[in-house]
Every structure is written in structure tokens, then in C-alpha cells.
Amino acid sequence: MSSSGGPAAPERTAIIDAAAIAQNVGTIAEYVRPAKVLAAVKADGYGHGMLTAARAALAGGADWLGTAHVAEALQLRDAGIDAPVLAWLHTRQTDFAAAIAAHIDLGVSGWELTEITAAAQRLQSPARIHLKIDTGLGRNGSTLDQWPALIRQAQWAQEEGLISVVGIFTHLAVADEPDRRDTDQQLETFRAALQTAEDHGIVPDLRHAANTPAALSRPDAHFDMVRVGVGIYGQSPFADRSAESLGLVPAMELRTTLANVKHVPAGQGISYGLTHRVDTPTTLGLVPLGYADGIPRIAVGAPVLIRGRRYHSVGRVAMDQFVVDLGTDTEAQVGDEVTVFGGDSGISAAEWGAAAQTINYEVITRIGARVPREVINESAVQPAEALQ
Ligand SMILES: *Cc1c(COP(=O)(O)O)cnc(C)c1O
């Protein structure tokens, strides 16, 4: 408890700005109109909380929600969210029957179609599917060789009333580097695959290919819908462009307070491995967040903001903590607020990514369960009837 008697600052928190998510969806919708927007809320809403993200995205105008797993999509339904949902990454353990019963659309790359039609047959309820073509990413999706056979199987199942082909989609590999020709080639292959489908009488309502970077940089990839994740959380998908320059507002701020401050002599080693030694007397600040909280262990020289000043991490990140060098003229004290990234700090998750040989996507999605999420501006994105 704080000595002033007010509520104590939480020891560590990820502050999630629901209004920012809604606003980012609106901003992206402007870029892609008249294409629809599917908001990717997989991986616990990229670390922001799946339900928070889903509700904010829908309030901001998202038409669809997207998850990797059917289990994630079912959680949306359990929470009473009845917007269209697409789930696209399945295993033999995936409960297709539950998905069909819950009106969850299913991505189909190949083998799933047989299982899905069998489930639809048992339920006497048609499945809604989106056929996926691999146009170059080499992950999921039908190969070009298998595509005509998959189309024929889908055509048969649709005629039998077992499925409805709602969409055809693909996923891009290098859209974050807008000038690479590989994207042109992927889109060309996608258009050819759509033509093959059309030749077999399959003309879905929703053709979709674009992720966030393509939504923001490739109008020729918009088709009928874009599937955007990182952008709705206010993160730039481009290495050389800030979120701000794209009109996006970061929706996660990671904060804690200094756990210790101490003066040390020149030569003081820091953290496991003693990979860093200070070469002059200095002041060290101890930040109580570590790799168990999702702070990348290999981050070095990563920024934090304390009392309006930037400091940098030194030595290895440990499980629960890391150290920042506060220099000799610091006023920082135990208990001072530390912003790791986001909010008004001017520090982006992308900067942490750069310090840790990774990307902002990984930084935000890995913030761990030990960090409580505090949602702000939630009332701004709630439907009026929920506001009493
Ligand atoms: C995660 C994902 C997206 C969203 O990608 P972003 O780069 O975060 O916009 C889109 N489509 C598929 C298939 C995905 O798995």
C-alpha cells in the first residue's frame, strides 16, 4: 500500500487501451475500403487479451474476427461474441463438429475437408469454409498441384449441401517489404487459383490475401477482405516505418516500478555471466520484469523511461529482473515508475524487438501471464446497452 493512502501502483502491469484498438481498426478500414476487415485476435489478442481485443475491434468496425485455432474461436463464442469468426490452423485433434455447431468458419488447406464434411454430415448442418491456397509462403494451404482436386472435392461437397465455400484465401510472405517482387508473384498465383475455382463453378464472396503490411501498402492485395493483426494493436509491420507515421496508436503499455537503486564502483559486474562491467562508478536501477514475464533474455541496451528520461538495460535479462544503468546524475529512486514501452514513453515494442534480434510482434505476444492486464478506455468501445 502506498504511504499516501491512495491505491498502490500495481507492481507490474500491461495497460491495454481498448479505444486505441478500436481506433486502429477504423484507421485501417480507411486504407482498405471497400474491402472488409477481419481482426486477428489469435494468441490472446497478440498479448492484449483476446476478448478485450475482439470487443474493441468490433466496436471499431471490424467485420470479422480471426483466430489460428478453433479452440480460440470457441472461446469467443463462449463469451457471447456472435460476429463472423474464421479459424485456420487445425490438427487431427481439432473439434470440427464443435466449430460447425458454433458457426465458426474453417480454413481448409487439404486433409481437413474430408473430416469437416464428415462432421457436417453427422450434424446435418453445413460447414462454412474458406479454401486456402499456398501461393509461396510454404506453410499451410493447398499446393498448386493439389488445388484442382481440392476444388473438385469442395464442389462435390457443396452440391451435397455439406459445405458452403464462403472464401478463398492465401497468406503473404514478404508484404512487410513492399518492393519485393515475390508479393507480385504470390498475387498472380492467387488470381490464377481463383480462376481455377471459378472454372469449377466456385465463386466465393470473400477472396482475401492481405495481412497488416499488405493492407497498408498494397491496394492490389485487398480483394474483398483484409486480415489484420499487428496493426490493430498499434504496431508497425514495417522495419523502417513507425506506427505513428502510419496513423496507428500502440495499445499496450508495459509498466513497473524500480525495485532497487544503488551506487556501485567502477568494475561492478552485472547479472548472470558477468557479460557487462561498468567502467566508471555509476547508479544501477533494478527493473522487476524478466524473461518469465516475456522480456527477451537476449535483449541488450534496450530502453526504458524513468522520470521522463531514457535509460538502457545492461547485462543479461534474468527470469524476474533486469538492470538499467542510471548514470551518475540520476534522480531515480526506488518506487519510481518505469515504462518499458508504449504509452507516452516514446519507446516502441519495435525498439525492444531491435534490441533483442526479434520483432514487435514477438515482444507484445510474449508478455507473460504474470503481468496483469489493466484495460483502459473500455467504456468508450462498449455498446450503449452494456453501459449502465
Ligand atoms: C496472424 C495472421 C494474420 C495477421 O497478420 P498481421 O501481420 O499481424 O496483420 C493474417 N492472416 C493469417 C493467416 C495469419 O495467421
Between the CA of 78 and the centroid of ligand 1 the distance, in Å, is 23
CA 152, chain centre distance (Å): 34
Sequence-distant (6+) residues with CB within 8 A of 303 are: 310, 311, 312, 313, 341, 347, 351, 352, 355
Nearest alpha carbon, ligand 1 atom 15: 68
pLDDT of residue 382: 74
pLDDT digit string, tens, across residues 84-122:
999 999 999 999 999 999 999 999 999 999 999 999 999
Looking at the chain, which residues constitute the CATH 3.20.20.10 domain(s)? Answer: 34-234
Of the listed 36, 42, 46, 132, which one is catalytic?
42
Residue 316 Cβ < 6 Å to ligand 1: no
- Place 379 in a pLDDT band, splitting at 50, 70 and 90: confident
Dig out the grid coordinates for 323 from the structure: 538492470
Q: Please give the pLDDT value at position 3.
A: 47
- Catalytic annotation present for 311: no
Q: Catalytic site residue 272?
A: yes
pLDDT tens sequence across 322-341? 999 999 999 999 999 999 99
State which ligand 1 atom lies nearest to the alpha carbon of 237.
7
User: Residue 133 carries which DSSP code?
Assistant: B
Q: What is the C-alpha to C-alpha distance for residues 327 and 311, in angstroms, rounded to an integer?
A: 9
Locate CATH 2.40.37.10 in the chain. 252-376
The CATH fold assigned to 34-234 is TIM Barrel (3.20.20)
Contact 106, 127 (CB under 8 A): yes
Question: What pLDDT score was predicted for residue 8?
Answer: 65
Percent of the chain with pLDDT over 70: 96
Cβ(186)–Cβ(135) below 8 Å: yes
Nearest protein Cα to ligand 1, atom 6: 229
Tell me, in angstroms, the distance from the centre of ligand 1 to residue 213's CA. 10
- Expressed in angstroms and rounded, the spacing between residue 32 Cα and the centre of ligand 1 is 16
Ligand 1 pocket check for 88: Cβ under 6 Å = yes
The answer to whether the CB of 36 falls within 8 A of the CB of 224 is yes
CATH of domain 252-376: 2.40.37.10
How is 219-235 classified by DSSP, letter by letter?
GGG-TTEEEESGGGGT-
